Chain A
Amino acid sequence: MTLDFASQADYLLALLPEIVLSLWAMLVLMVDVFQKGNRVEASRPVVAWLSLAGLVVTAAANGWLLTIEEAAVTGMVAVDSFRVFVNFIVLIAAALAILISIGYLDRRGINRGEFYALLLFATVGMMLLGAARDLILLFLALELMSVALYVLVGFDRRDPRSSEGALKYFLLGSFSSGFLLYGIALVFGSARSTNLSAIVPLLPSLQESPMFLIGAGLLLVGLAFKVAVMPFHVWTPDAYDGAPTPVTALMATGVKAAAFAAFIRVFAVGFAGIYNEWSVVLSWLALLTMFGANLIALTQGSVKRMLAYSSIAHAGYLLVAVLAANAYGAAAFLFYLLVYTLMTAGAFGIVIANSRGANELNKLDDYAGFGWREPLLGAVFSIFLLSLAGFPLTGGFIGKLYILRSSLEAGNVELAVSLVLASVISYFYYLRVVVVMYMRPAPAEEANRTVLLTGPGQLAMSVSAVAVLALFFVPGWVLDVAQRSVASLFTVPGTFFGLGP
């Protein structure tokens, strides 16, 4: 089926997954309210399973998107396989977040149906963010995602750290939205359109316009805030640390995936004509992020905070893929995003498993003997950590290899070397956790500590770990799909993926 957007009804089909998920989120909201009536009590487990079912239905609708195509690349939303791939990653991230929040919310006394509804709404925002081809829609999608996340971060109102994280995230997030909006206004002022497909043909004439370049720069700052690239990362550790851990997992995976997809759509595809201008800035940001985040992560005593800095460092690796600026780089980017989502969400799941009741301090010492006490989860955690570090036999290794190769093909030797060096630094703090898990004996009073991750969560973690391993042994299929997905980006007239004018 071909959509030409001559009639507005075409948007109903083009946005089917998002529409399904929005309606489903409202349904979740309603079901919860009708079950509880006026009573103040925890939500039933059915709400969580209903939300999961919504994600599955949305995934089906998302797969159906592959059968339709657009007549021209001028619509407000893109209908291409790049979007479908990103949507799948976002949906996986949301599903993992829901699976590890089962049981967790009860323990913290925050099991309310709104949690799941807001999580689904945030997912809708992420999906729209990956699809937006118009800067207005991009901004609104970003806000839809962010507003839902501000609330989710501060969902545990009685916990000062949760509130603190939410307030910091909200203030700095609004600040960055201001940057983004001002950038959009300047771009609109100089290009007279907010639609990227209308801006692309004008780029040669806009190249010299200071107004347009400042606008593009502000856009870059706004998006860099959302993907938490240094030096725009200051909100990240506190927000990640204070948020309920499932929300942290979602923020580290889905949000990053969606914001990076927007990065690609706006800069690598839309502003490919001014690649020489933005690539310089982005290279420095990538260098700073890779080294800065890894060095700070070394000093962290809390595993949850260490993982927060690790996710910042991974934003740097992903930037290298964006900067590789060839189709191979984009495919490597999608591949790494998938591996990254699985292993990061998985690692945060283990953080939940090893917490004490509502106490999630998760000092490094808390992991002493964890590997022997919980053989399965210990092994799973080791796989995630080794994959995050980029060890062979894990998907993280292959992902980094693809990024390196694309970077070398693009001639960015310095970035490739930096990536390797930064990874070597990161080995220390990832392996330290593994060493503590297996080499240090558990304190005697800890012997009977129970694992605080319910069956579904443990199953999800195990499946993720197997998938991370599988992506090492049979990466070809996924990479093939990723390559075909980015091929559709070439269809934007006048640009070659990031190759400049």
Chain B
Amino acid sequence: MLSQILFYFFAGVAIVSALMTVTRRNPVASALWLVGTFFALAAIYTLLGAFFIGIIQILVYAGAIMVLFLFVIMLLNLGNDFEPDFRGTVWKVMAAGSALVLLALLVRVVGGTESLLVATGGVDLVAAQVAEYGVVGAIGVPMFLDYVVPLQVTGLLLLVAVVGAVVLAKRDV
């Protein structure tokens, strides 16, 4: 009962914040409302029992990425000229089209019969993994065992990105 009340509360917060994000004219306000959306989503993840994803959502999205967004907006001093993003009919049609596709997807997910994840036993599989390794382990164990090579390559990729950024940005290397 309590969790249901909490869910509807956070779901409402998420929807309202998301609406505010797209309707604010000031980009800084938009970004801050987006942070609110992320917090509400993190709460919903936590209610679903996915603590790890909830925490990651706050740490990575709300914490790191959005702060970076705000930095960029403020440093570049954007948002002083309010021009509509969608100029011209073509863009409007494309925007409406993508919105329709998303809506259709939503209807399919909510109203459709059994999803592929349920039909193929994916839910049970995830539950079994979580029961064996815990919430963090369900992600960590495959990452460090089955996918150890991609993990290491990702590390190498980040190193190259750092070296490259320094080479391109620093005045005298």
Taking CB atoms, residues of chain A closer than 8 Å to B5 are none
Within 8 A of B (CB), among A37-79: 40, 76-77
CA of A143 to CA of B159, assembled, Å: 12
Over the window 153-173 of chain B, the binary record of Cβ atoms lying under 8 Å from chain A Cβ atoms (1 yes, 0 no) is 110110111011011100011
Taking CB atoms, residues of chain A closer than 8 Å to B148 are 8, 11
Over the window 122-136 of chain A, the binary record of Cβ atoms lying under 8 Å from chain B Cβ atoms (1 yes, 0 no) is 001000100000101
Q: Does A244 contact B (CB under 8 A)?
A: no
Over the window 31-53 of chain B, the binary record of Cβ atoms lying under 8 Å from chain A Cβ atoms (1 yes, 0 no) is 00000000000000000000000
CA of A136 to CA of B151, assembled, Å: 10
CA of A137 to CA of B172, assembled, Å: 35
Q: Give the segment of A151-159, A330-338, A381-389, A435-443 that binds chain B.
A: A151-159
Q: Does B120 contact A (CB under 8 A)?
A: yes
Closest 4 CB pairs of A and B: A151-B164, A40-B172, A140-B153, A114-B167
Asked whether A114 lies within 8 Å of B163 as measured between CB atoms, the reply is yes
Please count the residue pairs between chain A and chain B whose beta carbons lie under 8 angstroms apart in the complex. 64
Asked whether B153 lies within 8 Å of A147 as measured between CB atoms, the reply is no
Q: Does A144 contact B (CB under 8 A)?
A: yes
- Whole-angstrom distance from the CB of B140 to the nearest CB of chain A? 14
Asked whether B163 lies within 8 Å of A137 as measured between CB atoms, the reply is no
Taking CB atoms, residues of chain A closer than 8 Å to B166 are 114
CA of A26 to CA of B163, assembled, Å: 11
Asked whether B150 lies within 8 Å of A118 as measured between CB atoms, the reply is no
Nearest CB in chain A to that of B153: its residue: A140
Q: Does A141 contact B (CB under 8 A)?
A: yes
Taking CB atoms, residues of chain A closer than 8 Å to B161 are 147
Q: Does B74 contact A (CB under 8 A)?
A: no
Asked whether A137 lies within 8 Å of B149 as measured between CB atoms, the reply is yes
CA of A121 to CA of B163, assembled, Å: 11
Given A151-B167, A154-B168, also A124-B173 (CB < 8 A):
no
CA of A147 to CA of B163, assembled, Å: 10
CA of A112 to CA of B173, assembled, Å: 8
Taking CB atoms, residues of chain B closer than 8 Å to A282 are none
By a beta-carbon cutoff of 8 Å, the part of chain B in contact with chain A is: 116, 120, 145, 147-150, 153-154, 156-157, 159-161, 163-164, 166-168, 172-173
| From A140, A150, A154, residue with most partner B Cβ within 10 Å | A140
Instruction: Identify which of B145, B149, B160, B163 contacts A15 (C-beta below 8 A).
Output: B149
By a beta-carbon cutoff of 8 Å, the part of chain A in contact with chain B is: 8, 11, 15, 22, 26, 29, 40, 76-77, 112, 114, 117-118, 121, 124, 128, 134, 136-137, 140-141, 143-144, 147-148, 150-151, 154-155, 157, 189, 192
Asked whether B173 lies within 8 Å of A121 as measured between CB atoms, the reply is no
CA of A76 to CA of B145, assembled, Å: 12
Asked whether A118 lies within 8 Å of B156 as measured between CB atoms, the reply is no
- Whole-angstrom distance from the CB of B120 to the nearest CB of chain A? 7
- Whole-angstrom distance from the CB of A190 to the nearest CB of chain B? 9
Nearest CB in chain A to that of B163: its residue: A114
Asked whether B173 lies within 8 Å of A77 as measured between CB atoms, the reply is no
Taking CB atoms, residues of chain A closer than 8 Å to B157 are 140, 143-144, 147
Given A137-B153, A140-B150, also A157-B168 (CB < 8 A):
yes
Taking CB atoms, residues of chain A closer than 8 Å to B173 are 40, 112, 114
Taking CB atoms, residues of chain A closer than 8 Å to B149 are 11, 15, 76-77, 137
CA of A189 to CA of B145, assembled, Å: 22
Please name 10 pairs of A and B residues whose Cβ atoms are closer than 8 Å in the assembled complex, sorted by A: A8-B148, A15-B149, A22-B156, A76-B150, A114-B166, A118-B167, A140-B153, A144-B153, A148-B164, A150-B164
CA of A136 to CA of B149, assembled, Å: 10
Instruction: Identify which of A121, A134, A154 contacts B160 (C-beta below 8 A).
Output: A121
Nearest CB in chain B to that of A22: its residue: B156
Asked whether A155 lies within 8 Å of B156 as measured between CB atoms, the reply is no
Asked whether B150 lies within 8 Å of A136 as measured between CB atoms, the reply is yes
Asked whether B160 lies within 8 Å of A118 as measured between CB atoms, the reply is yes
Given A114-B173, A147-B157, also A29-B150 (CB < 8 A):
no
Given A8-B145, A192-B120, also A148-B153 (CB < 8 A):
no
CA of A453 to CA of B27, assembled, Å: 53
CA of A29 to CA of B173, assembled, Å: 12
CA of A238 to CA of B38, assembled, Å: 41
**Additional 7 contacts, C-beta under 8 A, given A134-B150, A151-B160:** A22-B156, A118-B164, A118-B167, A121-B163, A137-B153, A147-B161, A151-B168
CA of A15 to CA of B164, assembled, Å: 24
Asked whether B160 lies within 8 Å of A144 as measured between CB atoms, the reply is yes
CA of A154 to CA of B167, assembled, Å: 10
- Whole-angstrom distance from the CB of B31 to the nearest CB of chain A? 23
Instruction: Identify which of B150, B156, B164, B172 contacts A124 (C-beta below 8 A).
Output: B156
Instruction: Identify which of A114, A117, A137 contacts B150 (C-beta below 8 A).
Output: A137
Nearest CB in chain A to that of B147: its residue: A136
Instruction: Identify which of B145, B153, B167 contacts A128 (C-beta below 8 A).
Output: B153
Asked whether B164 lies within 8 Å of A141 as measured between CB atoms, the reply is no
- Whole-angstrom distance from the CB of A124 to the nearest CB of chain B? 7
